[in-house]
Amino acid sequence: MKLLSKRFVRRLIGRQQSQESTPSAPQRMLDEKGHANVVRMGIERSPWDDLYYLLLTISWSRFFALTMLLYGVVNTLFALFYLVGGDNLANAQPGSFWDAFFFSVQTMATIGYGAISPKTFYGNVVVSIEAMLGLLGVAVITGLAFARLARPTARILFSRVAIIAQYNGVPTLMFRTANQRGNQILEARLWVFLVRDEVTEEGQSIRRFYDLSLSRQLSPVFNLTWTAMHPIDENSPLYGETPESLRDRATEIVVSLTGIDETVAQTVHARYSYLTQEILWDMQFADLLTQTSDGRRAIDFTRFHDVL
C-alpha cells in the first residue's frame, strides 16, 4: 500500500477543512496545544482582576516584558520623587534625572555603590520606602518565577489524524500518542470522549458527550508509543456512523491523558481533539518500531503521523 507522508496528510486535512467549513460550523473545543478554544461572553471581568493567575499563565516572553516594564516604571517614579525634593542626593548633579534614576536602581536592588547617597531627611525617607518595596518586589518576582518553573509539564505527541479501520474483524477507531521526553510516565491513563450535536425530543439543540471505551486504557510504563483503540461495536456511540453523518452533527473526538512524571514525581496531563475531517477511514498507521544495529528497540518518529 502507498505510504502517505505527514506533509500529504496535512495537505489532505487542510483541503477537507476548506471544503467542509461554513460560517456556522463549530470550531474544535481544544486548540492544537490542548487549550480550551472557547470564547467567554457576558463575563465582565478584566484579566487584571486575577493578576496572580495571569502572571502564571502568560508566556515567558510576556512575563519578562511585563517585569521589565514594571521595573522601569517604578524606578522612574522614584527618580521623580527624588527630583521633587530638590537637591537631596550627595554627589549627584542637581536636577539630573538619570542620576536619580540609576540611584533608584541601586537602592531597589540593594547594590549600594556609595558614589551617590541621600543627604537630607526627605531623601532618606524615600530611600527607606524604596528599599522596603524593593525587598517585597524581589520576593514576589522570585516566587512567581519559581512557581512558573515548578509547574509540571508534559511533552505528549498525538498523531495529527485518527483512523477507522478493521482490527481483528471489528471496525476500530485508532490514534497514536507518544512521550517525547526520554523519561517515563507512570500509570498513564487515557480518556476518550465523543462530542456531537444532538436534538432532544423537545427540539432543543445540545452538545452531548459520550465516553468511548478503549481496549487498553492504562499503561503502567509509558515510554514507547501507544496506539489507542476503540472497538466500534453495538455498544459504541460510533456504531453505524459514516463520514457524512459525523460531519452533519459536528462530531469531535476529545482525548485526555494523565500520568505521573517519574522525574518530578508529579501528575502531568495533555489533551487533544480530532475533528471529522481529521478522522481517516480504511487507512492504517505506518509501522514505527525498528531495531538498532546492537539489537535495541527504536522508534522512528519521522513516520509517527504517516498513514498508508
- My answer on whether 70 and 34 are in the same domain is no
Q: What is the CATH number of the domain that holds 275?
A: 2.60.40.1400
Choice between 64 and 2, residue whose per-residue pLDDT is larger: 64
SS3 33: coil
Q: 184 CB contacts (<8 Å, ≥6 apart)?
A: 221, 222, 223, 262
The yes-or-no verdict on residue 21 having pLDDT over 50 is: no
Residue 308 lies in a domain: no
Domain final position from 134, 150, 166: 150
pLDDT category, 214, cuts 50, 70, 90? very high
Mean pLDDT computed over 265-289:
90
Rounded to an integer, what distance in angstroms lies between the CA atom of residue 151 and that of residue 144? 11
Q: What letters, b where the CB count within 10 A reaches 16 and e where it falls short, cover 237-251?
A: bbeebeeeebbebbb
- My answer on whether 146 and 157 are in the same domain is no
Give pLDDT tens digits for 156-166.
999 999 999 99
Give pLDDT tens digits for 216-264.
999 888 877 899 999 999 999 999 999 999 998 889 999 999 999 888 8
Give pLDDT tens digits for 40-58.
666 666 666 778 888 888 8
Rounded to an integer, what distance in angstroms lies between the CA atom of residue 90 and that of residue 243? 80
Burial of 148 (0-12, 13-18, 19+ CB in 10 A): middle
- My answer on whether 169 and 32 are in the same domain is yes
The yes-or-no verdict on residue 12 having pLDDT over 60 is: no
Output the pLDDT for position 233: 93
Residue 102 lies in a domain: yes
User: Amino acid letter at 213?
Assistant: S
Choice between 124 and 25, residue whose per-residue pLDDT is larger: 124
pLDDT category, 23, cuts 50, 70, 90? very low
| Lowest model confidence (mean pLDDT) among 3-12, 59-68, 70-79, 97-106 | 3-12
Rounded to an integer, what distance in angstroms lies between the CA atom of residue 166 and that of residue 233? 12
- My answer on whether 182 and 52 are in the same domain is no
- My answer on whether 229 and 91 are in the same domain is no
Domain final position from 111, 133, 150: 150
- My answer on whether 70 and 135 are in the same domain is yes
Residue 1 lies in a domain: no
Give pLDDT tens digits for 58-67.
889 999 999 9
Output the pLDDT for position 207: 87
- My answer on whether 233 and 161 are in the same domain is yes
Say how many domains are in the chain: 2
Mean pLDDT computed over 116-126:
90
**DSSP state letters, 70-137:** HHHHHHHHHHHHHHHT-S-EETS-TT-HHHHHHHHHHHHTT---SSSEE-SHHHHHHHHHHHHHHHHH
What phi and psi, each to the nearest 5 degrees, are found at residue 220? -65, -35
pTM: 0.72
Q: What is the CATH number of the domain that holds 63?
A: 1.10.287.70
Residue 190 lies in a domain: yes
Residue 157 lies in a domain: yes
**Is residue 304 within 8 Å of 225, Cβ to Cβ?**
yes
Residue 42 sits at the vertex; the CA angle it makes with 38 and 48, to the nearest 5 degrees, is: 80
- My answer on whether 21 and 109 are in the same domain is no
Rounded to an integer, what distance in angstroms lies between the CA atom of residue 164 and that of residue 194? 14
Output the pLDDT for position 22: 45
Using alpha carbons, select from 235, 234, 236 the residue that is nearest to residue 253.
Answer: 236
Sort strands 162-167 and 279-281 into parallel, antiparallel or unpaired.
parallel
The yes-or-no verdict on residue 10 having pLDDT over 60 is: no
Output the pLDDT for position 37: 66
Output the pLDDT for position 32: 64
Domain residue limits at 264:
6-39+153-303
Domain final position from 92, 126, 150: 150
Q: 179 CB contacts (<8 Å, ≥6 apart)?
A: 154, 155, 156, 157, 185, 222, 223
Residue 111 lies in a domain: yes
- In which element (H, E) is residue 7 found? helix 6-20
Output the pLDDT for position 24: 47
- My answer on whether 133 and 238 are in the same domain is no
Tell me the three cell numbers of residue 262: 517519574
- My answer on whether 200 and 89 are in the same domain is no
**Is residue 134 within 8 Å of 158, Cβ to Cβ?**
no
**Is residue 223 within 8 Å of 185, Cβ to Cβ?**
yes
Q: 283 CB contacts (<8 Å, ≥6 apart)?
A: 4, 163, 165, 307, 308
- My answer on whether 120 and 96 are in the same domain is yes
- My answer on whether 24 and 159 are in the same domain is yes
- In which element (H, E) is residue 15 found? helix 6-20
User: What one-character DSSP code corresponds to residue 16?
Assistant: H
Output the pLDDT for position 182: 78
Residue 200 lies in a domain: yes
